[in-house]
Amino acid sequence: MTERLFWRQAQALIEMHTGPVITARQVGEGFNSEIAVVINDTTFVKGLRSDHPRVWTQERERRINPHVAKVSASLRWTETTGGWDLNGFDLIEGRTAFYGPSSPDLELIVAMMTRWPSAPDGVDLKYAEQRWSGYSDRSELFAGDWLSHTDWSPGNVLIGGDGRAYMLDWAWPTRGARWLDPACWVVWLIASGHHPARAQAWASEIPAFAAAPAHALTAFAQAQAAMWEDIGDHAPQPGLAAAAARWVEHRTD
């Protein structure tokens, strides 16, 4: 988790693109940015100091943005001077998604995932088989040519005022199997109160997940359990390790 810094440290750079700051709302969701603020109710600014060890995620998000225009906020401007790396996005008005069993947001999220693009060429992406190789000896089963977000924290999913779901914070895009993101979502659904069978049923609304090889999904569930157990207290939400373990138990019972 990255510590939040007060946005006024970069105010002069922000105002080069937004004009004078009339209103500003710091954003609490998300864990990858030092600055996360809504300016003048029109622009969401996220940024890192230029010497931050993960500042490269800013450039990766810039590169991926044109390819996720149908499911995310559009990048409006970039500033990489004065010791900061800032990205300014069009503000999508909305609220954080709710993953609970009775949530009407789940259908909107499924509809969003049906608009997922394939992995673009010319963008430096993580590879699923490499990302989870430390947690699975069968990580080659996770390979593919589809774009995956992989971080299904509800804070990354916005339910817009237009009745659509949007996926934000594309700092860690990954090339992998088309079923990968629905499978990542399953763990969060279980942690939010779904029985594993019902969580899988929601994920199966995505045809690629419904058609995925059973042994590949089981291997990925086991990798997720190992990963969340390893992350431990640093997980963005309590109960993810237990949720992943319940998914493994359900699949192997």
Q: Count Cα neighbours of 139 within 13 Å in the Cβ-side half-sphere.
A: 16
Q: What is the pLDDT along the chain (253 residues), one digit of tens a residue?
A: 456 677 889 999 999 999 999 999 988 765 578 899 999 999 999 999 999 998 999 999 999 999 998 999 999 999 999 999 999 999 999 999 999 999 999 999 999 999 998 999 888 899 999 999 999 999 999 999 999 999 999 999 999 999 999 999 998 899 999 999 999 999 999 999 999 999 999 999 999 999 999 999 999 999 999 999 999 888 788 899 999 999 999 999 8
122 backbone φψ class: left, alpha, beta (φ>0; ψ -120 to 50): left
Angstrom distance (rounded) from CA 227 to CA 115? 28
* Inter-residue contact 182 to 114 (CB < 8 Å): no
Return the pLDDT at 134.
97
Angstrom distance (rounded) from CA 72 to CA 57? 16
CA–CA–CA angle 94, 31, 24 (5° rounding): 50
Return the pLDDT at 233.
83
Return the pLDDT at 43.
96
Angstrom distance (rounded) from CA 223 to CA 206? 21
For 56, residues 6+ apart whose C-beta sits below 8 A from its C-beta are none
For 121, residues 6+ apart whose C-beta sits below 8 A from its C-beta are none
Return the pLDDT at 30.
55
Return the pLDDT at 4.
64
Is residue 236 helix, strand or coil? coil
